[in-house]
Each structure stands twice: as C-alpha cells, then as structure tokens.
Amino acid sequence: MTERVGFFTDTTLCIGCKACEVACKEWNNVPEDGIDFLAMSYDNTGALGASTWRHVAFIEQQVPRERAPALPDQAVVAGADTGVRWLMSSDVCKHCTHAACLDVCPTGAILRTEFGTVVVQEDVCNGCGYCIVACPFGVIGQREADGRAWKCTMCYDRLRGGLEPACAKACPTESIQFGPLDELRLRAAERVKTLHESGVAEARLYGEDPDDGVGGAGAFFLLLDEPEVYRLPPNPVVTTRDIASCWRSATVAAGALVAGAFVAFTRGRR
C-alpha cells in the first residue's frame, strides 16, 4: 500500500459555491440530483446519497451580535443584538479506518484500495443493502434504477493517474484539501491553533483522531459548532465492533446447549 491519503475540509473557508458537487458529478458521471425544491435554505441536495457523493450543507444560525462577525465571510448581521451566521460544510464519505461497510459486504464488492480509501465496485455489488445500514454516518445509498450501492470513491481513477480528486481540484478557496493523511492532520492542528489565537474559540476538529470509534477518518473536518449541528454523529462507532464477541458468545451458548442435550439424552437412556 502507498502512503494513505485523505481529505481535510476546513469549513471556515467554505463559501457554499457547490463547485465540489458539480465537479464530482461531472468527473464520476453521477446522475442529477437536488433538482426538487426542498425548502431548506439554499441546500438543494439535502444529504449525501447514491447520487450525491459531495453535499454542501447550508446551516443558518441566530447568534449574538458579538459572535456573528467572527468570520465575516460567513456572517450577515441582522439586528442590534443578534446576527445570522452561515455555517457551510462540504460533507463526503469518511473512508473510515475501521469501515463497517467493508466488514459486512457479503460479495467483496467493497474494498480498501492501495491509497487507504474505501470504494464500492459497482460491477460486484448485488444490492443487498447491508453496507447502508452498517455505515455510522449514513453515507451510502442505493439507486432506484438498479438497487446497487454507491458512494464517494475519492476519485480512485484520478488517484491512480497521479491526480487529486475532482472536488478538491475544483474548490476555489481550498476549503477541501487533499494529501497524505498524516500531513493533513498536522496542518489541521495548526489551523485550529491559529483560529483559537485569533478569537475563534469554537473551532474544533472532527474525525481526525485515530483513537475514535472508527479508528480515525480518511476525510475529517474543522467545525465551528457541535457535530450535531452539521448532522454528524457526535461519537461515531464502527457498527461491527461487537461481531467477534457475539460469535464467541453464540459459540459458547451453542456448546452449552449441545452439552445439555447430550446429558439429558444419556440420562434418559439410563
């Protein structure tokens, strides 16, 4: 395996242009999505899914006036005491270190590449849907036309050609940064430190910790509020973590049942 690569998405730099969504669709030939009016601010795509591999969320918050100007490009002062702050974030598959989707796939359609990313081979997928319920982030979806599972591949074909993923290439503000994962984690820590020193105390990282419930994400984020605000689980855990212990318990229980049946049988013969 080559050096593991990933995404660092700095939401403080996102301007909501959705260039990443468009680039993703164009390069990967992802079907159109988000045309229906959702009445959700400017968020036309709504969530990640089989036909939305990058989703730019628009989150509108009422905040005290003194907080609204903290990041001028994301805030519009609305009144004397309160303001409106826009939190924008380009969400994507997390390419987990411990990927439950990979664990439960019965056909081998989901695999880890030489870059450390997790991809679905659409020609092997049988549409069982196990990966969809296993994903702790709700990333994977099925298309009605064929029932197969689809998600971000981190542009695997581009990586093999020495190119960065289309979404990172298209991002005009470098909100989406691509590179070696260890390097990105160091860069992210420095960015948080800089923000804290400039008075943005709420800046925090999400998904960068190798000791978290999924072993660290291959796509992590710098947030300005709690993960729930961005519709991210606060403490994600790989959903297959208890499988081994469950099998051990089941084996012990089965053994005890067989032993009990044998004892009863032998006593009955006497």
Q: What residues have CB less than 8 Å from 144, skipping those under 6 apart?
A: none
Q: Which pLDDT belongs to residue 63?
A: 76
Residue 44 · residue 76 · CB < 8 Å: no
Amino acid at site 93: C
Closest CA to 11 of 93, 91, 95: 91
Question: Token pair of 105, please?
Answer: 């796939």
The larger pLDDT score, comparing residue 43 to residue 258, is at 43
| Residues forming beta bridges with residue 63, ordered by sequence position | 83
Q: Which pLDDT belongs to residue 2?
A: 82
Structure confidence by residue, pLDDT tens digits, 253-264: 455 565 555 556
* High-pLDDT (> 70) share of the chain, %: 79
DSSP 214: T
The domain segmentation of the chain, as residue ranges, is 5-239, 244-270
Residue 169, SS3?
helix
| Residues forming beta bridges with residue 142, ordered by sequence position | 149
Please report, for residues 53, 117, 155, the alpha-carbon distance to residue 29 in angstroms, rounded to integers and kept in the order given.
11, 20, 11
Q: Is the pLDDT of residue 146 over 70?
A: yes
Q: Which pLDDT belongs to residue 40?
A: 60
Amino acid at site 184: L
The span from the CA of 256 to the CA of 19, in Å, is: 60
Residue 14 · residue 57 · CB < 8 Å: no
Q: Is the pLDDT of residue 225 over 80?
A: yes
Kindly state the average pLDDT of the residues 26-45: 78
Structure confidence by residue, pLDDT tens digits, 227-244: 999 999 999 999 886 554
The span from the CA of 105 to the CA of 90, in Å, is: 27
Q: Which pLDDT belongs to residue 77?
A: 46
The span from the CA of 268 to the CA of 112, in Å, is: 54
Closest CA to 100 of 125, 131, 124, 127: 131
Tell whether pTM > 0.75.
Answer: yes
Kindly state the average pLDDT of the residues 20-47: 82
Beta pairing class for 176-180 and 5-10: antiparallel
Residue 167, H or E segment: helix 166-170
Q: Which pLDDT belongs to residue 242?
A: 52
Kindly state the average pLDDT of the residues 146-174: 97
Q: Which pLDDT belongs to residue 266?
A: 65
CATH number among 1.20.1300.10, 1.10.10.10, 3.40.50.800, 3.30.70.20, domain 5-239: 3.30.70.20
The larger pLDDT score, comparing residue 60 to residue 245, is at 60
Confidence of residue 248 (pLDDT cuts 50, 70, 90): very low
Supply φ then ψ for residue 140, to 5 degrees.
-85, 145
Q: Which pLDDT belongs to residue 253?
A: 45
